[in-house]
Amino acid sequence: MAVVVRTTVPCATIMPMRVRSVVHSPHVLDFVSHSVAQTIRIGQRLGELLQHGDVVALRGDLGAGKTHLIKGIVQGLGSTDVVNSPSFVLINQYRAGAQRGGMPIYHADLYRIERPAELYGVGLEEALDGDGVCLIEWAERAEALLPDDRLDVHLSHLSETKRVVRFTPCGRRYEALVDTLKKTAFT
């Protein structure tokens, strides 16, 4: 797994590796994952660092590895629940392990959302305001609902098996989280 640390990349809405400037952050972190197993392992490391109220907004093309990363995050939170993409129910809920107090883990997959109005009444606002961790695939489809402070994660294809996983922190909590991830990712 390769690590590239970027400096002064904007914290913003990220569409396929294009960045719209909002706030500059020297805390952006890129990983190159060489396999599904490495993507899951990156997610585990991230999950170990997440806390109540954290929001992770995942973006990337179909098949980029968003659900695999979430599998790792859920494992890193100590859950033994089976993770699969909630494409038809939009939001799945898992439970973190006992060491995390069994807090809820909300996993939203917004792939099937075509218009912002479809988001109301599906439970996303409650998940965002909930007492657990909220993980959102296809987060760009809920941009208006996302909190300003969050961790944006963009996954992109580098080759058939390799992915770039870019962590862009939005807010001080997430800057500290990414800094810690840099230090702990390879231990």
CATH number of 2-184: 3.40.50.300
Instruction: Report the run of H or E that residue 15 belongs to, with start and end.
Output: strand 14-15
Pick the more confident residue, 158 or 25: 158
Is-above-0.75 flag for pTM? yes
78 has a pLDDT exceeding 60: yes
* pLDDT at residue 22, rounded to an integer: 39
24 has a pLDDT exceeding 60: no
Closest CA to 27 of 187, 185, 178: 178
State the burial class of residue 71 (Cβ atoms within 10 Å of its Cβ: 0-12, 13-18, 19+). buried
142 has a pLDDT exceeding 80: yes
d(CA 75, CA 112): 26
| 9-13, 82-86, 122-126 — most confident range | 122-126
* pLDDT at residue 112, rounded to an integer: 84
d(CA 140, CA 11): 14
Tens-place pLDDT, residues 33-53: 999 999 999 999 999 999 999
Tens-place pLDDT, residues 94-130: 999 999 999 999 999 998 888 888 888 788 888 898 8
Considering the chain, what percentage of its residues have pLDDT values greater than 70?
A: 84
Angle at 64 between CA 77 and CA 146, to 5 degrees: 60
